[in-house]
Every structure is written in structure tokens, then in C-alpha cells.
Structure 1
Amino acid sequence: MSYQAVLRNKNFRNVLLAQLLSKIGDMVTGVALPLLIFSRTGSVASMAFMMLTYWLPNLILAPFFGIVVDRVNRKKLMLGMDIARALLIGLIPFVPLYGIYLICFLTACASEIFDLAKFGSTKQLVKQEELVEANSLVQGLDHLIGIAGPALAGILIAATNLVLPFYVDVATFSLSALLMCFVAIPDVERKPQQEGWLEKSRLDFKEGLSFVKTSAPLLFSMTLFLLVMMFAMPMNVLFYPLFQGELGAVSWQIGLILSLFSVSSLLGTIVSPKLNRRFNRIHLILLGLFCMGFFSALLALSQNVYLALAFYALGAFFNGFVNPLNATLRQENIPHNLMGRVTGMYFSAVNSLSLVSMLLIGLFGDLLAVRDLYLAAGIGYAVVGLLGFFSPWYAKTKGMYETEKTALEQV
């Protein structure tokens, strides 16, 4: 399969364009909102609280949103969430600080529902053999926006004010909603239920949890990335202290580093389908995780900012090809009617240790050397890639993909 074949799918192409528009708006708001809050309060704690309001829906509410995604037509959900986000973002310039926090929380809830519906609809819109290419396009688009998005947002804010970016975001969500009107996504078949809403929700949750417990690929991926995120989040928190504080990077070098990360991730995403056709997917995921951690550890040991930049870019490349492969693994092993709630459970479980690791970094970040903490996180990341070979579900999951590849080669 090729990217051209996937892009000829009108419905998937419209969803992809809708994602492009909304992500551009998100990028602009993502730069403007922290500046607006800091200009009003001058408080770092206020910005941290804003980040928490964005984080909580993914961590706590995702499984319950997944139940909704499995019950309601996913096109209607994505369309409704685009409209809701447009209305909410448009209110930001007019509300007090506590209103902004509430809007952040509600917007994050709408985004979580949209993302769960989009993830499930991808499997409905493309063929099974096109999933890796489709997920590579979804991930690649995010990386592409990450290359130029922050700079464009900064230019827009500098040339105008802190209010216009929110209206730009409103416009992008509105255009995204318009595109979604031309997407056809079928309803998911469900067994009729006579119970009340609460009882149906309990049974839906139980059904999703029971499925997760019996799926070797999901248990393999979930436990693996639960540990990965425990080390990934500290590296994100320590990025600026390491590059600016330890390596002496100036602002333009930081911008170059962030853009190069997106470029390298994009390259990894592009080659992901080709690698998937030649090698066992489970081996690729574990190799990518190990290399990401290995180059992160070398970054922590670097004394030169440009050498550190090179290691950062190499790690980003491996991170880039792992994400589409892992996303496709989940889609291939979750039925349509369980996609929302199982994916929600997956994200909540995977992100649960992230909060703990971020708390630990907050407690010990000023007591221990930044390089030592980053080095420990990089080594831990690499060790997780090796531990995957000893997972109780490794052999069965690896065998499933070997069987699949053998069958494809015989066709």
C-alpha cells in the first residue's frame, strides 16, 4: 500500500484536512494562552494549574468518554466537539481567570472525545492493510505542524495582540466542522440493551475491561508504554533546564532544536510503513524505544549543544516510527464496537505513572543535577525497550505478527 492510495479515500482525506486546520489553531492557542495567563497573574503556579486542567480529562475521564464514543455516531461526535471548542475558545478573551481554567478543562474534554472518535473512525474509513500508512499520515501531520507552527504563532502574536490568536483558533475549528459535514462514517453495530443509562454504562465499562484482560497485544503495549511514559515525561520537563541551563543554548538554538525534533520525527513517521513491511512490528517498536532512550542518555552526557542536538534528533527519528506502529497495533486488535472505551482505558492506564514521575521531578528537580536526572530517564527508557522482550505477552504478540507477515508474503 502507498500514501497515495490512502489519500484517494475522500472520507479519510477530509478527516485529515480537518485535523490539519484544528491543529494549526491549537498551536496558536497553545502559545497565546500561557502568555495571556502569565500576563494577568505573573504566576508560574497559575500556568501549572492550567496545564493540570488540560491533563486531567485524559488521565481520569478517558474511559467514560470512550463509552460515549462507542454509543454515538463518530462523525456527529467530531462535528459536535469542533463546534463546542470553537464556542469555548471564543469566550477566553472575555472571562476572568477562573473562567479560563474552566474553559481549558471543558476544551480538553472535547478534544479527548474528538481524538477518541477520530482514532476509532480511522479503522472504519481505511482498509486493514492501509492502517499503518493512515496512522503515519496522522502522526506526520502533527510533526509537520510542529516544524513551523510555533514560529508562525509567535509572529502572529507579535504582529497583533494576545486576543486575535483565539479568534484564529475559532475559525480553524469552524472550518474543521464544515469539512466533517462531508465525511461519511457508519454507525457501529451494538447489541440492543434494555437497562438504564447507568447500568448500561457499567456493563459497557465491564465489557471493555474484560476484553483488555484477554488481549495479549493490548496488554503487551499497555504495560510497555506505561513504563515508557514514566521516563518520557521527566525528559520533557527537563528539556529547558538541560539545554538552556546546562548547555547554554540561546533562544534561536532552542527554536532550531524543537524544529529539528519535528523534522526528524516526521522522517521516522514517513519510513514507518516501509519498515513495517520488512520487519516484525514488535521488534521495530522495541528497537525504537531502546534507541530513543540510548540517544537520550548520550544527550545527557554531551558537553556541546550541537552534539546534544544531533543526539536529540536521532532519538526523535526512532520516536517517530514507533508511534504509528503502536497506534496501528491497537487499532488492529480492538473491535469497532469497543474502540472508544478500550482506547480510553489504554490512555488512562498509560498516563497514570506520568503524573507520579512529574511529581517526583518537581520534588527532586532542584536537589539533584539536571544531567543526572535526564541521564537516568534516558537509561530507564532504553531499559524498557529491552524489558519488552521479557514481557509475558511478548511471545504471543510477536507470533501473531509473524503469522500475519507470512500470510501476506504468500498472497
Structure 2
Amino acid sequence: MNALSLRELRALFRSNPTFRRVLLADLLSQIGDGGILVAFPMLILEQTGDVTLTGLAFSGEVAAFALLSPLAGFVADRFEQRRVMIAADSARVCFLALLLLVLAFHASFGALLAASVAFGASGAFFMPARAAFMRRVLEGADLERAIALEGTVAFLTRLISPALMGLLLAILPPVAGIAFDLVAYASAIVLLAPRWVRGTLSVEKAADEGAWQEGWLCILRSVPLRSLLGLDLALCLVGMAAFSSSVAFLSEHLQLSAQSNCWLLAATGLTGALGTQLAGRLGRGGGTYAALTGLVALTYLLVPHAHSLGVMVAMWGLRGFAYGALGVLINQRIVQEAAPQVMGRVNAAWSLVACLAAFFGSASTPFLLRTIGSAQSFTLFGITLASAAILMGAQVAARSAQARRTVEQPG
């Protein structure tokens, strides 16, 4: 698929008001998510004074998200997705309001970790419901274009949200960031509230519609999905560990405040959006996945040699481009391989693996920071993904050689 043109963007928005509402609601929810990425580590640092604990900022959230993913997939395929999305964001609003109340009396790290768990538990239901709902709103080429557009929106929010949060936290304490996120989620609920926001495409119900494991079976039956799931696992594991280590690297090696991390997120958002737009021009073969993974590995290997925030921003920009392109290519392949009636469970199964990988990446950060330090941690991240890229490249070369031998065989 070619890069999404402005004409196609306008056509998607004008032709389907339901898609427009869901996309805008998703945008606001992701702005809330992006704000949490900046505000929550700073909140932990403010409340505990321990920079190594910032690596655990999202361990509770991703653990709860992962544990509830099977149930979330079942709910997404079984019940009305619009109501599920509203319920998920409503729960997040309630938990953020409760967190604001707790912070008024000073919060321990245990209380913040509990808030992270509650936030992840409520958010686990939004993504599978949105993925299943989109299959009831769009189909065919429009659906693939919508996936690319959603990817662009996701990365643009990583540009907009950290920038807004950085400006906000420059003059106000981290608790103001939590209040900002609460407003973003509440606004998403308002967009989804009208009853006419619903899918119009009929989806054939499978005989085993209630079987939660059907999402896993769909992935395991597909060779491309199995391979891409392994790649996404590595990217999420290393990506979360790198994100969790970035605050420590900025503090220890560049003597910068944790707030400077918002510039890295903004760079990721800007170039990630570009990557989502150009993904269709890069090809969909294994060589493309290997090259993009290798690009991410290169940025991590170069981090220990960064001596300024500008260099770090440039590296995170390259990383963001690769992640943006990979995200769109992987999601488009999932849509091609998964049937509409199991889309929620496929998304939930995929999210479970991604979240478990992110959890272990986040949970391992304090150990890595205390044993080998932030600079050597990034070297380890780079070596890990470089190995994955080399393995993928070798597999592509082996398949190409096998194909040539098959063609050259007589008869």
C-alpha cells in the first residue's frame, strides 16, 4: 500500500462519521497514555527520590494488562465494543481521580504501584474492543488505510502529548499531568457516547465464538503471524527496557532532568508518524523487517556515545521511524491473516505477549541499572536486537536460496 494521501485522509473522515468519532476518541485516549508516560515516572521520582524506581513505573500496569488480556479479548468479541471502550475509559477516569485524592496526602511507592495496576487493568479492555470494532466499521482497502492512519495518529500523539506535558510540567508539579490525562480520557468518553456510533458491517459469528483460546489458535496456525509475534516480543521487551533506562541515562551521563525525556518521546512521535506513512513503500518481505530491526539495534548501540540531548533526540528519531513502520506492517498483516469474528481475541492474545515482554523489560531495568549501568544496558539492548535482525536476514536468505534451487530443478 502506498503512503496515505491527504485526499484519502479526507475521504475516510467524510465518508464514515463513526470511524471519525472512534479515531478522535482513540487520539484522546492515546494523548492520555502519552501523558502518563511522562508524568508517572516524574511522579515516582518526586514521591520517592529514587531514580532507579522510575524503571518500575509501568510494571504494574503492563502486568495487569497482560493478565486481563484473554478476558478482554473475549469481552471484545462477545459484547458491544462501543460500550466496552466507554467502560474502559470511564474506569481510567475513576482511577486517576482516586490517585489525585491519594496524592493530596502523599503517596508511597506501593500506592503508586497499586495505581499502575488498576490503570492497566482498566485499559486492557480498550485496545481489543477498538480493534474488533474497526472490523465492523471498515473493510478491504479502507481498513488497511485506516490502520496506517491509526499508526500515524498514535505516533503523532507521542509528539503532541509529551510536548504538552513538558510545557505543563515546566510550570506545574507532576500531579497536574495526572489531571490533564483525566480530562483527555473523559473527552474520549464524550465522543463515543452517542448511540449512532456503531459498526454497520455484519460479521459472521463463529460456532466457537466464546472460546478465548481461538485468538491463540489463529496466530499459531499462521506461519507469518508466529514469526511476527516473536519479533514483536523482542521489540517490546527491549523497547520498554530502553524507555525505562532512558531517564537514568539522561540523569547519570548527561546531567539532565527526567523532564528531558519528553523530547525523546516527541522525536519518536514525529519520526514514527513518518514511518507509518512510508511503511507501504518499504515492502512487506522479511528483509524489510530485518532492516528495520537492525536500525533500532544501531540506535541502541550508539546511545553510550551520545554526549548531548540533541544527539539522543536524533537517535530516538531513527528508532521512532523504525518502530512506526514496523507497527503498521505488523498490524496490516494481522488484519490479513485473522478473521473478523476473532479479531478481538487475536488482538488480546497479541497484547498479552507484548505486555508480558514489556513487563519483564520494565521489571529488569532496576537490576540492569544497578549492576551494569545505563550505558552498558543500551549496549546489551543493541546486541539483542542486532542478533534478532541477523537471524531474520539469514532466514530470508535461506528461503530465497531454496526458492532459486526449486526453480532451477529440471522438470
TM over 0.5: yes
Q: In the alignment, is the contact (CA less than 8 A) between 2:42 and 2:54 conserved in 1? A: no
Change (3 A) 1:191 1:175: same
Report the aligned-residue RMSD. Answer: 3.4
The yes-or-no answer on 1:190 pairing with 2:192 is no
Which sections of structure 2, spanning at least 5 residues, go unmatched? 404-411
The yes-or-no answer on 1:210 pairing with 2:225 is no
* One-letter amino acid matched to 2:216: L
Identity of aligned residues (%): 21
The yes-or-no answer on 1:146 pairing with 2:152 is no
The yes-or-no answer on 1:387 pairing with 2:391 is yes
Q: In the alignment, is the contact (CA less than 8 A) between 1:232 and 1:381 conserved in 2? A: no
Q: In the alignment, is the contact (CA less than 8 A) between 1:73 and 1:188 conserved in 2? A: no
What are the within-5 Å matches in structure 2 for residues 362-401 of structure 1?
Answer: 362-390=366-394
CA distance in 2, matches of 1:257, 1:36: 18
The partner residue of 1:225 within 219, 226, 232 is 232
Q: Hey, what does 2:11 align to over in structure 1?
A: 5
**C-alpha displacement at 1:248, in angstroms?**
4.9
The yes-or-no answer on 1:137 pairing with 2:166 is no
The alignment partner of 1:125 has SS state of coil
Q: Point out the more displaced range, 285-294 or 354-363.
A: 354-363
The partner residue of 1:178 within 187, 190, 208 is 190
What are the within-5 Å matches in structure 2 for residues 70-219 of structure 1?
Answer: 70-95=77-102, 97=107, 101-157=113-169, 165-180=177-192, 181=194, 182-186=196-200, 188-191=203-206, 204-219=211-226
Q: Hey, what does 2:290 align to over in structure 1?
A: 286
* One-letter amino acid matched to 2:82: K
Change (3 A) 1:315 1:174: closer
The alignment partner of 2:324 has SS state of helix
CA offset digits 1:295-351 (Å, max 9, x no partner): 332333455654454333223222221111111111221111111222222222244
Q: In the alignment, is the contact (CA less than 8 A) between 2:299 and 2:316 conserved in 1? A: yes
**C-alpha displacement at 1:114, in angstroms?**
0.7
Change (3 A) 1:360 1:191: closer
**C-alpha displacement at 1:141, in angstroms?**
1.9
CA distance in 2, matches of 1:88, 1:320: 30
Q: In the alignment, is the contact (CA less than 8 A) between 1:125 and 1:185 conserved in 2? A: yes
Aligned length: 385
Q: In the alignment, is the contact (CA less than 8 A) between 1:70 and 1:188 conserved in 2? A: no
Which sections of structure 1, spanning at least 5 residues, go unmatched? 194-199, 400-411
Change (3 A) 1:64 1:160: same
CA distance in 2, matches of 1:266, 1:363: 33
Change (3 A) 1:166 1:254: closer
Q: Hey, what does 1:261 align to over in structure 2?
A: 268
* One-letter amino acid matched to 1:4: R
**C-alpha displacement at 1:266, in angstroms?**
1.9
Q: In the alignment, is the contact (CA less than 8 A) between 1:281 and 1:325 conserved in 2? A: no
